[in-house]
Amino acid sequence: MAVPYGVRTPAGEHAKAGCMRASGGNIGIMNKSVVKLLGSAAVALSLVACAGGPNERSAGEVFDDSAILAKTKAALVKDPDLHATKIDVDVNRGAVTLTGVVGSEAERKKVLETVWGVKGVQSVQTALKVQAPNP
C-alpha cells in the first residue's frame, strides 16, 4: 500500500520522497529512467564534443599508435644485431617513421625488416643515415 509523502506509518517511519504517491503511481522507476536517459545523452554529447577534425587522431588511433610504438622499440632493443639506441621511432596512424643513425647498410635493412615484422605497422618511412662507427 502506498503511503503519501510525510505521513507516518504505524511503525513510525516516513514515506520516502519521490518514490510513491497517494495515487499509487510509481514515480521512482520513472525518475530512474529519466536519469538514465539524461546520463546517456550527456555521455553521447561529450563524445561528440571530444571528436576532432578529419586530421586529428581518435582516441583509438592514439592507443593503437602507442602500442605499435612500444612494440617497435621493444623489437629493436631485443635484436642483438641492432644498435637501436641511435634510432628514433614515431608512429602516426600505423605509419612508422624512423630517424637516426645506423652503422651499415646491412643494419639499416635489418631495422626495416624488424619494424615491418611488428603487428599493426601500415607503412615505414625511413630517414636513417648510414654512418660507420668510430674506431
pLDDT in tens, 69-118: 999 999 998 888 887 668 899 999 899 999 999 988 999 999 999 999 99
> Considering the domain boundaries, does residue 78 fall inside one?
yes
Q: Taking a C-beta distance cutoff of 8 angstroms, is the pair 129, 98 a contact?
A: no
Report if residue 135 sits inside a domain: no
Q: What is the pTM of this model?
A: 0.56
43, 64: one domain: no
Q: What's the mean pLDDT in 27-31?
A: 60
**Do residues 114 and 71 both lie within one domain?**
yes
CB distance 111 to 76 below 8 Å = yes
Q: Could you read off the pLDDT of 30-71 as tens digits, one per residue?
A: 566 666 666 666 666 565 555 556 667 677 777 788 999 999
Domain co-membership, 69 together with 23: no
Residues 37 and 88 grouped into a single domain? no
In the block, cell 517511519 appears at 13
Q: Are 121 and 115 in contact (CB under 8 A)?
A: yes
Domain count, the chain: 2
Collapsing DSSP to helix, strand or coil, 96 comes out as: strand
First-residue to last-residue Cα distance in the chain: 94
Cα 90 to chain centroid distance, Å, stands at 17
User: What domain range is 80 assigned to?
Assistant: 59-130
pLDDT at 13: 54
User: Could you tell me if 40 and 46 are in contact, meaning their C-beta atoms sit under 8 angstroms apart?
Assistant: no
